[in-house]
Structure 1
């Protein structure tokens, strides 16, 4: 790779893959899946197209790797927050906000849909499991404090699955589905807060 002065910088294979994925993620956030172009990433990093193909095979391989990269980063962030935060402090609104960050602001929903339309099939490897565990820990702690029985973990998993589905759809369609129901002027975050409150109830 080349540094800012144009000099070649030798990197390990893993460091090169990391740099390529980070550059691809920036393109995804800025322009969506169509903005993730091998030629652009190679130019930005001072690489050849062939170097990127060496690491990922082709553009589709890069896109799949980028989706896994985003998923791993999300899991690491949730686990990091769990390790320093108060379990009782997370609620469904906060969970919805984290999911919106993943699916909408980072462009992960559009990337996953792009891959699925190209024939890729998701494996369901448990990316949202840590978020369900964090939510459940908070729900169980609040139940104990109120003298109630702990809720079933499966309920927390289903809540996260439902929130994930809604935030995924919102990331793809914006507020179109709200307007289709005649909801004019309702912000997406307002709608998600309402969904979270209904689940809490």
Structure 2
């Protein structure tokens, strides 16, 4: 058990989220438990309940933290693009890190089973807008018709969904399409998805 420390309320919340994220990374959502985090930080269970209320509320805050980090990473990435550039592979790496490496996909499923519902806050709207501007610029240069916004929205939603599904149940998904899925690989599935989406966005 860690030695107890005095922390400001804000520092305590950050420390709790840091500890919860470490547990999430090492053990998945099942490892994010109030008692374990309290022991990690030298806090009482009551102190964690004071800051977050319930385990579900802590998990929700953790998912939102990972989501904000993904949005910030996307913003940094798209700032470097040329006006008509869309680097779907770079976006894929960011979704992979958030959904698989940081366990956001499994955390979202856990919360969903606990009754949580996303509020549909449009977290990827800046990405959609930037990608669509690039599509419009590329179409203008090539003298093609203006692309539809809905196609851009569907493409970004599909990119997100492919990475989330691969992180949650990629092996099971691939097993559903073959008697023997040994020749199928999650990485190849994501590469196929990225290439397909990139081709559609280039239209």
- TM-score with structure 1 length normalisation? 0.85
C-alpha distance in structure 1 between counterparts of 2:83 and 2:104, whole Å: 26
Once the two structures are TM-superposed, the CA of residue 101 in structure 1 deviates from its matched residue by: 1.8
Once the two structures are TM-superposed, the CA of residue 19 in structure 1 deviates from its matched residue by: 1.9
The equivalent residue for 1:121 is 117
Once the two structures are TM-superposed, the CA of residue 9 in structure 1 deviates from its matched residue by: 4.2
CA distance 1:144–1:15, change in 2 (3 Å): farther
C-alpha distance in structure 2 between counterparts of 1:122 and 1:7, whole Å: 35
What's the C-alpha RMSD, in Å, of the aligned pairs? 2.2
C-alpha distance in structure 1 between counterparts of 2:90 and 2:146, whole Å: 20
The equivalent residue for 1:167 is 163
The equivalent residue for 1:22 is 18
Comparing 165-174 with 124-133, greater Cα deviation is found at 124-133
SS of equivalent residue, structure 1 residue 173: helix
C-alpha distance in structure 1 between counterparts of 2:144 and 2:99, whole Å: 34
The equivalent residue for 2:44 is 48
Among 65, 70, 80, the residue aligned to 1:69 = 65
CA distance 1:81–1:58, change in 2 (3 Å): same
**Count of aligned pairs:** 196
The equivalent residue for 2:191 is 193
Long gaps (5+) in structure 1: none
Among 4, 8, 26, the residue aligned to 2:5 = 8
SS of equivalent residue, structure 1 residue 184: helix
Once the two structures are TM-superposed, the CA of residue 46 in structure 1 deviates from its matched residue by: 2.3
CA distance 1:9–1:140, change in 2 (3 Å): farther
Deviations along 1:18-74, one digit per CA (max 9) or x if unpaired, are 221122112111111001111222222222211111110011111111111111111
Q: Is the 8 A contact 1:33 1:111 kept in 2?
A: yes
Once the two structures are TM-superposed, the CA of residue 83 in structure 1 deviates from its matched residue by: 3.0
The equivalent residue for 2:139 is 143
SS of equivalent residue, structure 2 residue 184: coil
- TM-score with structure 2 length normalisation? 0.84
C-alpha distance in structure 2 between counterparts of 1:76 and 1:85, whole Å: 15
SS of equivalent residue, structure 1 residue 77: helix
C-alpha distance in structure 1 between counterparts of 2:129 and 2:36, whole Å: 39
